[in-house]
């Protein structure tokens, strides 16, 4: 896009959204989320690293930062006047904000993904998935926008409204200005991020990782979904997987809060995201805290994982495992 007299660093988030003819309420919503991130950054750098004394629906101990980041985002969304329903990974139920769905959006978010990494000073992030109207239990392909904010050595925001993937950096004035737009990833890459315990990998996944290692692919795994996905996007290559494991057929990552938004972004960048058999974005979630195995990144590498799982693990087995029948 030509912008006479402007360098890209002078293009702020709101202007970029306007240039892409994004609907005004959605511009306001994404801008409010970006604004909330400034307070989350502050809480990370100054907040208490301790536990909050509460646990979430998964029975995971909530860190004070989880609860704080969740509260910051919920308050912003609550007062935005453009949200119908919202759902946080840290909460048990969907939070209704407005009964009137017209012209409004529903938001699923992970306020501080990887929060357990903060006390070892590794990068963490906020992940957001946005649907039009009231319904959050839709296939991810229905999302109208997805974004994440990465709190690393630099604070960056990556978003898509279905018109490419674009990266912004927070400048000295704490504004997000354009760093790069229309990010794409190659069909095959030289990086892999293998999640989960390898001794619990199933035959198809074991064969997949062996193929990658025979190809000399480099291992890059931080333990944070946001920095690991950000690396694939910005290096333009790689595959992240947190697969179904023996005894854990659903894997670990949550469909609504982590997988749908990241799958939307990666597909927009020309990559793919699968549960090992079909696209993540085609999953019809049955409940808000649903988990799924995930293989996400370069298209050819995702296809290779699917092929090996198909060959070595019959659909019956995988389905049975997912339904916990084995």
Residues that bind ligand AFP (CB under 6 A): 60, 113-116, 195, 223-225, 252-253
**Would you say 161 or 262 has its CB closer to ligand AFP?**
262
Least distance (Å) from ligand AFP to the CB of residue 260? 14
Q: How far is CA 37 from CA 43, 125, 318, in A?
A: 10, 10, 39
Least distance (Å) from ligand AFP to the CB of residue 89? 8
Least distance (Å) from ligand AFP to the CB of residue 27? 28
**Would you say 27 or 256 has its CB closer to ligand AFP?**
256
Please give the Cα distance from 177 to 166 (Å, whole number). Answer: 11
State both tokens at 99. 């009964």
**Would you say 60 or 78 has its CB closer to ligand AFP?**
60
Please give the Cα distance from 195 to 222 (Å, whole number). Answer: 10
State both tokens at 102. 């017209």
By Cβ distance, which residue is nearest to ligand AFP?
Answer: 225
Torsion sign across C-alpha atoms 95, 97, 99, 102: negative
State both tokens at 81. 């006047």
| DSSP string across 184-245 | ---SS-SEEEE-S-GGGB-HHHHHHHHHHHHTTPEE---S-HHHHHHHHHHHT--EEEE--B
Least distance (Å) from ligand AFP to the CB of residue 104? 28
Chain centre distance of CA 146: 8
Least distance (Å) from ligand AFP to the CB of residue 256? 13
Least distance (Å) from ligand AFP to the CB of residue 224? 5
**Would you say 62 or 132 has its CB closer to ligand AFP?**
62
Among residues 80, 79, 71, the alpha carbon closest in space to that of 43 is found at 71
Which residue intervals of the chain are DSSP H helices? 13-19, 24-46, 64-78, 203-214, 225-235, 260-268, 299-312, 315-322
**Would you say 82 or 265 has its CB closer to ligand AFP?**
265
**Would you say 224 or 238 has its CB closer to ligand AFP?**
224
Least distance (Å) from ligand AFP to the CB of residue 227? 9
**Would you say 195 or 238 has its CB closer to ligand AFP?**
195
Least distance (Å) from ligand AFP to the CB of residue 79? 26
Q: Could you tell me whether strands 166-170 and 145-151 are parallel, antiparallel, or unpaired per DSSP bridges?
A: unpaired
Q: What is the Cα Rg of the chain in Å?
A: 19
State both tokens at 234. 């910005």
**Would you say 102 or 153 has its CB closer to ligand AFP?**
153
Q: How many residues does the chain have?
A: 326
């Amino acid at each position: 896009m030509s912008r006479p007299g402007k360098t890209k660093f002078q293009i702020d988030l709101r202007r970029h959204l306007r240039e892409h003819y994004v609907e005004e309420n959605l511009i306001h919503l994404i801008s409010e989320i970006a604004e909330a991130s400034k307070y989350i950054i502050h809480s990370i750098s100054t907040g208490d690293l301790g536990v909050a004394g509460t646990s979430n629906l998964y029975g995971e101990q909530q860190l004070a930062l989880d609860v704080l980041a969740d509260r910051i985002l919920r308050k912003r969304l609550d007062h935005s006047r453009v949200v119908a329903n919202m759902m946080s990974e840290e909460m048990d139920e969907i939070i209704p904000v407005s009964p009137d769905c017209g012209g409004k959006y529903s938001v699923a978010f992970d306020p501080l993904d990887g929060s357990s990494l903060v006390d070892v000073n590794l990068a963490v992030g906020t992940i957001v998935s946005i649907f039009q109207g009231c319904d959050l239990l839709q296939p991810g392909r229905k999302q109208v926008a997805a974004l994440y904010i990465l709190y690393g050595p630099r604070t960056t925001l990556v978003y898509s409204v279905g018109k490419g993937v674009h990266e912004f950096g927070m400048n000295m004035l704490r504004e997000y200005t354009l760093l790069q737009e229309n990010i794409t990833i190659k069909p095959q890459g030289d990086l892999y991020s293998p999640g989960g315990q390898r001794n619990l990998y199933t035959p198809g996944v074991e064969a997949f990782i062996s193929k990658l290692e025979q190809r000399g692919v480099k291992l890059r795994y931080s333990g944070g979904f946001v920095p690991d996905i950000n690396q694939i996007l910005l290096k333009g290559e790689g595959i992240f997987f947190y697969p179904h494991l023996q005894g854990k057929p659903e894997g670990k990552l949550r469909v609504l809060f982590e997988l749908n938004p990241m799958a939307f972004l990666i597909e927009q960048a020309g990559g793919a995201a699968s549960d090992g058999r079909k696209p993540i974005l085609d999953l019809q979630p049955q409940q808000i805290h649903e988990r799924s195995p995930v293989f996400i990144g370069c298209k050819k590498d995702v296809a290779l994982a699917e092929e090996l799982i198909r060959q070595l693990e019959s659909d019956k087995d995988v389905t049975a495992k997912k339904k916990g029948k084995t």
